[in-house]
Chains A and B, each alone.
Chain A
Amino acid sequence: MGKRVALEGNEAVAEAMRQINPDVVAAYPITPSTEIVQNFAQFVSDGQVDTNFVAVESEHSAMSACLAAAVAGGRVMNATSANGLALMWEILYIVSSMRQPVILTVVNRALSGNINIHCDHSDSMGARDTGWVQIFAEDVQEAYDNLLQAVAIGESMDVRLPVMSCLDGFLLSHSYELLEVESDEAVREWVGPYKPLNPMLDISDPKTFGPLDLYDYYFEHKRSQLDAYPPAKEAIIAEGKRFGEAFGREYGLLEEFMTEDADFVMVALGSTCGAIRDVVQGLRDNGVKAGLLKVRAFRPFPAEEIAAALQGASAVAVLDRSASYGAHAGPLYAEVTSALYSYGKQVPTNNYIYGLGGREILPDDLEQAFGDLQKVAESGQPAEPVSFLGLRE
């Protein structure tokens, strides 16, 4: 049985890392994920883990060291935010191309400039095409649970992909909440020992990693990488179910809250889903058929499942906590509407960009968006494809 304790989001993530006891952590701390690395370094120093902790001089080096340790045959973890993730860019692609299941906690924070330490999703969204699995947490319990599952998903033998376990900066990383922390034994049994695949340090069976790969084979290799993502989707579902069987909290690609008969559905990522639940409940109490579709896995993107979940809706709002500069709308909106189009569902869909740089999202803002949807459903047309919540104009 787990223990119900109060922890800050960063403390909960560090606790999960302690329980997982990875072979290598190479990290360069950055706000608001600093305490993850700080607390974990303390565990190393106190002998509570067997991890080889590599202190490096930048995030580029951190991810390079993680890649090398993973290729050598170790279970590898790391944590970062915003500009730290941006500095890892080049190596993120190489980790996924080399199919190394490195686990990275991303505490979501706005990218510079201007300089801002608070939450938005521009860092993770910028990394959405790097080939990493991306899972978003709604609360501290999920941040803890997701990290354990990230290990199992990434290490599945037919997946072998790196995973970003994302949680909202400050809103979750510095939020003090009650959660179930499972016992060390139960976690270690659930996660299991690391099973290396083609480890470089197996010198009886030499292999080549990261060679020159020009127009004769690069395309085929990239094509074979694409084959990893449908199994990753299956692994997210299977491990979410296995987690539920072990600990009583089941997870999937999406979470539907009152969507079954909903006319108006809001689609969102991360901690804002909490406030949306309250607003949906309030609208339901007043006879409005509102619902929430929480996207837990953004990569691989559950396009078919989202289209199915929105099948009965008469109007949809997609909330984006980042902007896609030069695009016609925010990234989540673009993918959700593309999914609807691909799977033959036509429904008026509004895009709301909110919360950049930590701007608060209030229940009033969410109610206003649901109000828009009622008007949109009557007219059959989105009033404005993109609008903003909580912005002074």
Chain B
Amino acid sequence: MAQMTEVRFHGRGGQGAKTAGYILAVAAAEEGWNINAFPEYGAERRGAPMKSYVRISKDPIRLRSGVRHPNVVVVLDDTLLATEHVTDGMEPGAVLVINTDQSVEQIREQLASPDVNVFVVDATQIARDTIGRPIPNTPMLGAMAKAADLVELDSLKRAVDERLGGKLSQAAIESNYAALQRAYEEVHS
């Protein structure tokens, strides 16, 4: 089978993991890739752990089971480390981006596979400052763009506009751009 990039988002219901997956997929599609994005629900409820998946490939994507061996994992909430096995299936050196105010070392101590490539960013604070609400999904996409180099920041901005443009005001879209940009600059390993 041809090369495919697989991304897994871990979040809580209401944090926007599903929307983040869709925005990443639109951005990748804009750059000419085949895409597939889907959420994994238990029963849908706010605050409960959930996952969403994105596959990006030059070839048509036909597999519809959940991502087992992610190249990139994005964690929207560091309290998930206590209950979710976020590094499951990751190879050494695979990219993990986490929303946290803790250090890379502090996060690494809590991981089952400490040999993954850990990136941290305080996306909740960035979201509060830019969007005005603690919704970490768009800043985490900005951070991921820097850490994993899957898609360009500009593609993500266009995807935010395409996916959320009908629902949000122009000012809200602009604040999401600012969140993307700031997280892109602040994320570090």
- Chain A residues with CB under 8 Å of chain B are 6, 8, 117, 139, 170-171, 174-178, 271-272, 274-275, 277-278, 281-282, 360-363
Contact = CB atoms under 8 A, between A and B. Distances in A.
A342 B63 CA distance: 34
A357 to B, nearest CB: 12
A282 B2 CA distance: 11
Contacts of A281: 1
Q: For chain B, which range describes its interface: under 10, 10 to 19, 20 to 34, or 35 or more residues? A: 10 to 19
A141 to B, nearest CB: 10
B64 A178 contact: no
Contacts of B22: 6, 8, 176
Interface in B16-42: 21-22, 25-26, 29, 34-39, 41
Nearest to A360: B65
A176 B25 contact: yes
A117 B42 CA distance: 9
Nearest to B39: A174
Given A170-B41, A275-B62, A176 B21 contact: yes
12 contacts: A6-B22, A6-B25, A6-B29, A175-B36, A175-B38, A176-B25, A176-B38, A274-B63, A275-B64, A277-B62, A278-B63, A282-B1
A278 B22 CA distance: 24
Contacts of A6: 22, 25-26, 29, 35
Given A6-B26, A278-B1, A176 B64 contact: no
B13 interface: no
Contacts of A171: 38, 64
B38 A170 contact: yes
A278 B43 CA distance: 30
A282 B41 CA distance: 30
Given A177-B35, A178-B29, A361 B41 contact: no
Nearest to A171: B64
A178 B162 CA distance: 14
A219 to B, nearest CB: 45
Contacts of B66: 360
A178 B34 contact: yes
Nearest to B26: A6
Contacts of B43: 117
Contacts of B39: 170, 174
